[in-house]
Structure 1
């Protein structure tokens, strides 16, 4: 009955989340159903397991959600994201339209801009470029997914994405874990994705397929759509309902002013991770009032948080005159972080209840018995949970909350560097999360005015297949040569 309850609870969570019900309600309800079938005390599971673990996730990562959303909103309202996108389009020209869209998305998301901010700015630009180049409109979503939701989310060393931050407290790693392998994985994703998009574009031209019938600008309607909002806030770290708040600059920022805050994120993150924090005396962290923790457990989060804070200060300083409603912009960014953070925390709470049930032992033993060792087992578990929840961050946290310590012990016994475990976990979470029910996919299609039938096959090829190829390569290289 315990295993049945686990499956029923998970099934209800997936089913109703796909129908647009709020995860804030669904996760505790599904957790109670799982506990009921398992014959476990309901209120104790709700208050002492679900809430404690959800609160623990917020305590660890809410600061990154908050700073990331504020930074993204500042970059949007200052015109910086628009300026970066226009710069890429101008430099690469009409003959390399797809590459321009991919690299524009990659540049702003690797620099710390929230995914949905990038969506709302890059989609209108992409429509204009694709129309002028007579490239089918249906290829806009896969081009944006490749640039924003693959290698810059999970593979590039130092990426400030929440997915790259989640393994750090579990493995004691930094955002730059396994940098060589991360770069190789990024090149595989980017290269394979661009090859597929070029192939799709060439096939469309050969068939005489042009841009197609245009549609009205759907960005504002998509931002206000409640179904899109519920799915989006579970998938990523920005509430699209806040896009309409604040006041966007009437003129784009100069390109140097626009790019500098993105460079600050990367530079400060690197400096904090490799130079500043390792030299600090933080023995006080062992005190009970600081949670009796260690630098390894908090250094990664500290690095990303300081980097985002520095980028926020830089953005404000450089764009003071282009932020006419600074307080409203920052308020909107702060508000945009709350629902996504609590949604993912609720998924974490659900996962904690499931992991505490006796029936979970069967699942744990099955996952750990997968042939190929801890790396393959970790990749499979993060893939499955990200696929079921439609959330890379939710699936990754559930997997590590339930099995993180076990994987640390297995890695130590097998002589596997925890930096390699970090990179495999993050890339694994960013593969099957891009299934049709993923909130980012649903939101992007809505913004583009397209359907799954129009674009999902190409999205899956550049988002899922390329990431799986990179994951296999990282596991193979890591197993043969270790972490580098």
Structure 2
């Protein structure tokens, strides 16, 4: 068993190091997963590849490809039409060029807190971020960290009421709501956002002082068809994004609740117990794409060609992310992982610290905040509830701290979210990961430590 656990950590370290050095995870994830199975001896490596990894990949693609597809098309159309530039010009005029980083973080956070999927927001905000950073001459290498700060930190796990999926996961175990521990969440959000922006702003000044500006990047060529002399107005440009907000909210909170009976019989016939949660965002984005082609028809060169390019742009990100999911699927299937998981959740420490450590460590191993949360709650959700009651700690605090901690080590170099973010922005780990790690690992875990101290003093 010791050798098997060693194999898990060896494969994880190799995966992270080589991913950081630019090796494709589409190739790397299967190889490292099979390495872990060789150490474990649980089953032959080829079995792990074809029967576990590929099925996990296929399951992820089946579930999320529609989101990646419409997200990539929407982001591309907003870029080539000049709508993203128009929005960026308005944001820049409102915030000022010296607050370009704040502008990108706020714009990203607004989309995520408004219900736009984490997988989609990168596509939607990228062309806007490019325009803002280019105008302010902020080094592009900081753009992934700025998007990650707005998407993968406080809006995903800390802000009370966040509509992101991870914020719903503790509810069945703790009997809480998405608004659990509002004071802890707000304080933690302020810490994450403030420290993240301070870090990125100082980094931008340091890089500028060394002579580095925005730079020239091949990945930007796809969104530079439209020059600043022919742009849609801001009001027109913002309409598709407003449509996403309105439709996503209405479909999520009203239509698929009031009219669930129209869909549940068909879902149950297929062996499903509930409505697919990605329907609202897929429909909202599809409508926004159609609206964009109509509203921006005078600004889009070769619409059919742009539709094709947008669709093709979804393939590399989803394959990268699916490969990471496949790796996690193999690791979770190993007997040693169950031992490792049991060891993490059975540590003899304060229960609220235990829930934080268990979710963040498991999220780090599988490269997913929601994956780490699910594993921790499935293994010890009821025990966490019992321990919270015995120690007089609020279950709301458990809810908030569990998911905030999961949003810490989930963005190690092999994380699917990080791989997707870098693929979309056309940058490498070597260029951007240092700043991503500071904004999505170091600062959030510091905020978690503060939140734990506050929760242990009775503040929720």
TM bucket (normalised to shorter chain) is: 0.7 to 0.9
Query: What is the match of residue 54 of structure 1?
Result: 57
Once the two structures are superposed, the pairs formed by residues 80-479 of structure 1 within 5 Å of their partners are: 80-93=83-96, 96=99, 98-104=101-107, 106=109, 112=116, 114-115=121-122, 118-119=125-126, 121-123=128-130, 125-129=132-136, 146-147=149-150, 150-152=153-155, 155=158, 164-165=164-165, 177-178=178-179, 180=182, 185-195=188-198, 211-214=209-212, 217-220=215-218, 223=219, 244-245=221-222, 248-250=225-227, 251-282=230-261, 285=264, 290-295=269-274, 298-370=275-347, 371-373=349-351, 377=354, 379-384=356-361, 387=364, 394-396=367-369, 398-399=371-372, 402=375, 405-406=378-379, 427-433=404-410, 439=419, 456=434, 461-472=438-449
Structure 2 Cα separation of the partners of residues 5 and 182 of structure 1:
37
Q: Are 1:39 and 2:16 matched, yes or no?
A: no
Structure 2 Cα separation of the partners of residues 288 and 110 of structure 1:
28
User: Contact 1:245/1:328 (CA < 8 Å) preserved in 2?
Assistant: no
The alpha-carbon distance between structure 1 residues 84 and 469, as it changes in their structure 2 partners (threshold 3 A), is: farther
User: Contact 2:67/2:282 (CA < 8 Å) preserved in 1?
Assistant: yes
Query: Once the 2 structures are TM-superposed, how far is the Cα of residue 405 of structure 1 from its aligned partner?
Result: 3.5
Structure 2 Cα separation of the partners of residues 125 and 402 of structure 1:
39
The alpha-carbon distance between structure 1 residues 404 and 265, as it changes in their structure 2 partners (threshold 3 A), is: farther
**Higher alpha-carbon deviation: 321-330 or 417-426:** 417-426
The alpha-carbon distance between structure 1 residues 15 and 268, as it changes in their structure 2 partners (threshold 3 A), is: same
Superposed CA deviations along residues 135-179 of structure 1, whole A, max 9, x for unmatched, are: x9998776565446544555567878xxx4478689789xx9438
Query: What is the match of residue 10 of structure 1?
Result: 12
User: Contact 1:431/1:468 (CA < 8 Å) preserved in 2?
Assistant: yes
- Which one of the candidate residues 54, 68, 80 is aligned to 1:77? 80
Structure 2 Cα separation of the partners of residues 405 and 287 of structure 1:
28
Query: Once the 2 structures are TM-superposed, how far is the Cα of residue 72 of structure 1 from its aligned partner?
Result: 1.0
**Higher alpha-carbon deviation: 321-330 or 461-470:** 461-470
Superposed CA deviations along residues 319-361 of structure 1, whole A, max 9, x for unmatched, are: 1221222222222222122222122222222212211211112
Superposed CA deviations along residues 432-472 of structure 1, whole A, max 9, x for unmatched, are: 45567855787799869x957xx94x665544444234445
User: Contact 2:91/2:103 (CA < 8 Å) preserved in 1?
Assistant: yes
User: Contact 2:65/2:318 (CA < 8 Å) preserved in 1?
Assistant: yes
Aligned partner of residue 431 in structure 1, secondary structure:
helix
Structure 2 Cα separation of the partners of residues 211 and 408 of structure 1:
50
User: Contact 1:285/1:292 (CA < 8 Å) preserved in 2?
Assistant: no
The alpha-carbon distance between structure 1 residues 328 and 419, as it changes in their structure 2 partners (threshold 3 A), is: farther
Q: Count the aligned residue pairs.
A: 438
Superposed CA deviations along residues 292-331 of structure 1, whole A, max 9, x for unmatched, are: 2222xx4532222222223223322321221222222222
Structure 2 Cα separation of the partners of residues 270 and 326 of structure 1:
29
